[in-house]
Structure 1
Amino acid sequence: MLKQQALLPKNQSTVQNANCVVMVPPKEFAFNAETAKDNEFQHQVAQTTSEVRELAMQEFNTMVAELRQVGVQVVVFDYPAGEIETPDAVFPNNWFSTTANGDLYTFPMACKNRQQEVKVDALVDTLESAGRPVQSQDSLLSYLQQDAHLESTGVMVIDHVNRTIYAALSQRCDREVLEDYAERIGYERVVSFQTALPSGKPIYHTNVMMAIGEGFCVICDEVIPEFERRFVIKSLAKDKQVISISLDQMNKFCGNILQLETVNGEKVIAMSQSAFDAFSPAQKAQLSSHGKLLPFNVQTIENIGGGSVRCMLGEVFLPTRTNPL
């Protein structure tokens, strides 16, 4: 059932786009059998683990270099390895989020081996070194005791300008945790809804079916039940250009894109090469009016990991340090 919640306001910036992102090298990347139980975008391959990691690292390094070249600050979080490998660590946007007030939030993820990715102290140190200090921390990890989950901006697609969170409910997106987070950051509206793939299963992460930019939204609305779909589209269309994508386009990660800003304030839209190729010429023209399109070849990471470019980008809204260390 679609749910809205009125929340208390909080003094929070309403900047839509980050000009800095955290990216995590895929040094332990592999097919994750745990997440594959509800992620239909993952595929097993015949290549060896070392071959897969070499290809994934090439894709990662190229993406980092090209983002930096256009003027997006990239903080590479070369996380400390633990006893349990973290094959999905390349997708850091699922376990943390940041705000323009200097807050860092950490989130309860559904899969045990993904919970090993949460390395708060190391991330705080890395952000500090990059000139993006964390001022305060808050955590929703206690919800793991209730077996309740909220996988950050994987399951929440956020319209910061209108202080509205859109979320497809699933085992990775619990309504109670979702509304708790919205209240903590002072966002007034939560629009949660059901989804169904042809298999009957829900979308595992909202950010594979929709993306919100400053003046546009890309959405695969056909996976939303009709009675909820109309409300969601009406809400988005108030001040966004709504670009509807097909199920086939969603499967090529056209929904898994992210609008960013360069340090000079120019708008760019990061996406995979497969998404770029799947958009129609008319859709590319629409998107180009909102920023320069930046396609990256992440075929290995997409195919095996079941996530794409947006999943690889942990937005950093933390203010830049104004005084030297």
Structure 2
Amino acid sequence: MSQTTNTILMIRPVNFRMNEQTAVNNYFQEDLNLKNTEINIKAQKEFDAFVDKLRAVGVQVIVEEDDKLMDTPDSIFPNNWVSFHENGDVGLYPMFAENRRKERRDEVFIRLESEGFKINNIIDYTSAEDEGLFLEGTGSLLLDRINSKAYCALSPRADEDLFIEFCEDFEYTPIVFTANQTVDGKRLPIYHTNVMMCLAEKFSVICLDSIDDKKERKLVIKNLKADGKAIIEISESQMHQFAGNMLQVQGHGGQRYLVMSQAAHESLTPKQVADIEKYCPILSSSLETIETCGGGSARCMMAEVFLPKA
């Protein structure tokens, strides 16, 4: 069992814009006051430059084009609808925004099989949408694959019962908590766990200040420490620069990299950078348009492929 992979799936956007359906509880989204066509062109440039940087260090990036007819503005964030596992299982997840449900496309599975990957079993949670219950993939679930633990910050997009069901199906121990951010003077749930927390092999980057309940905070710290993970804390303002939205991947020769946006990288203090670089180099890329309009960042754009080869 491995915590990191050298293969990721990314979806190149064709209709990227600010998604009005997700903006209701994604407080990271902002309106850029640009025409949607301009926004999409900027997002495509950021996407292509990001893919080039990943490939340059030896990360295998499988790029699938979005389908223009679908009108799926958030398709650039595939990790919310699918997860791929070492035993050949695939998780398919229920999405909060109706226009995001169209992102789930069989073409993606056909593409992965054409690349030599084996899909044995699809575990489909999407019927929960009929009951208004959601669990948005590895946006909502942070998987410690080696220690078989799953961390989940509950929100309108992460239902506790569904999370427990996932943990039973995939044999993970559930660690449940609530993470909040301040919006107009109120403490409101952060929409995805992977915005406030990143799990790498030997460390975690986490905004502990967002976990208001002291018992829950202690629970998270206790589990990370029990598994020997160093804790690198970030502030709430750094989290707003997407400093929690990072992913560790493998490049040439199994070299690990911590991937993040330029905004996230620039928000880190020299000590935080040094703490991360004790374990692996940082790879960052400018994702300004994607972050501002989409309210998601580098980690959200990468669906890790752990599937076995056929």
In which range does the TM-score fall when normalised by the shorter chain? Answer: over 0.9
Partner of 2:253: 264
Aligned-partner residue type, residue 300 of structure 2: C
**Alpha-carbon separation, structure 2, partners of 1:56 and 1:148:** 30
Aligned-partner residue type, residue 52 of structure 2: A
CA contact (8 A) 1:79 1:122 kept: no
- 1:235 offset after TM fit, Å? 1.2
Partner of 1:117: 103
Aligned-partner residue type, residue 229 of structure 1: R
Note the alpha carbon deviations across 1:249-270, whole angstroms, 9 max, x for none: 0000100000011252111110
Select 1:93's aligned residue among 76, 79, 97: 79
Partner of 1:135: 120
Aligned-partner residue type, residue 83 of structure 2: S
**Alpha-carbon separation, structure 2, partners of 1:27 and 1:213:** 31
Note the alpha carbon deviations across 1:214-254, whole angstroms, 9 max, x for none: 00001101111222111211211221010010001000010
Note the alpha carbon deviations across 1:53-92, whole angstroms, 9 max, x for none: 111000000111111110111011113344x411100000
CA contact (8 A) 2:14 2:68 kept: no
Report matched runs for 1:212-223 at 5 Å. Answer: 212-223=199-210
Select 2:284's aligned residue among 271, 295, 299: 295
Partner of 2:176: 192
Aligned-partner residue type, residue 179 of structure 2: T
- 1:131 offset after TM fit, Å? 2.2
Please give the TM-score of this superposition, normalised by the length of structure 1: 0.91
**Alpha-carbon separation, structure 2, partners of 1:25 and 1:104:** 21
Q: Secondary structure at the match of 1:201?
A: strand
**Alpha-carbon separation, structure 2, partners of 1:129 and 1:78:** 15
- 1:52 paired with 2:39, answer yes
- 1:195 offset after TM fit, Å? 2.0
Partner of 2:219: 231
- 1:25 paired with 2:9, answer no
CA contact (8 A) 1:104 1:134 kept: yes
Aligned-partner residue type, residue 181 of structure 2: L
**Alpha-carbon separation, structure 2, partners of 1:263 and 1:105:** 28
CA contact (8 A) 2:14 2:67 kept: no
Q: Secondary structure at the match of 1:145?
A: helix
Select 1:64's aligned residue among 51, 59, 71: 51
- 1:77 paired with 2:61, answer no
Q: Secondary structure at the match of 1:77?
A: strand
CA contact (8 A) 1:20 1:317 kept: yes
**Alpha-carbon separation, structure 2, partners of 1:138 and 1:51:** 38
Q: Secondary structure at the match of 2:53?
A: helix
**Alpha-carbon separation, structure 2, partners of 1:102 and 1:36:** 34
Partner of 1:4: none
**Alpha-carbon separation, structure 1, partners of 2:115 and 2:272:** 36
Aligned-partner residue type, residue 298 of structure 1: L
CA contact (8 A) 1:73 1:263 kept: no
Residue range with higher mean Cα deviation, 59-68 or 227-236:
227-236
**Alpha-carbon separation, structure 2, partners of 1:103 and 1:230:** 32
Residue range with higher mean Cα deviation, 297-306 or 263-272:
263-272
Aligned-partner residue type, residue 254 of structure 2: G
**Alpha-carbon separation, structure 1, partners of 2:181 and 2:219:** 19
Note the alpha carbon deviations across 1:242-300, whole angstroms, 9 max, x for none: 00100010000100000011252111110000011011111111111221210110111
Aligned-partner residue type, residue 312 of structure 1: M
Note the alpha carbon deviations across 1:185-215, whole angstroms, 9 max, x for none: 112x100111222232101000000000000
Name the structure with the higher strand share. Answer: 2
Q: Aligned-pair RMSD on alpha carbons?
A: 1.1
- 1:204 paired with 2:191, answer yes
**Alpha-carbon separation, structure 2, partners of 1:192 and 1:216:** 19
**Alpha-carbon separation, structure 1, partners of 2:48 and 2:219:** 41
Aligned-partner residue type, residue 176 of structure 1: D
Q: Secondary structure at the match of 1:24?
A: strand
Note the alpha carbon deviations across 1:81-136, whole angstroms, 9 max, x for none: 44x411100000000001001111100011101111111x2111110122223222
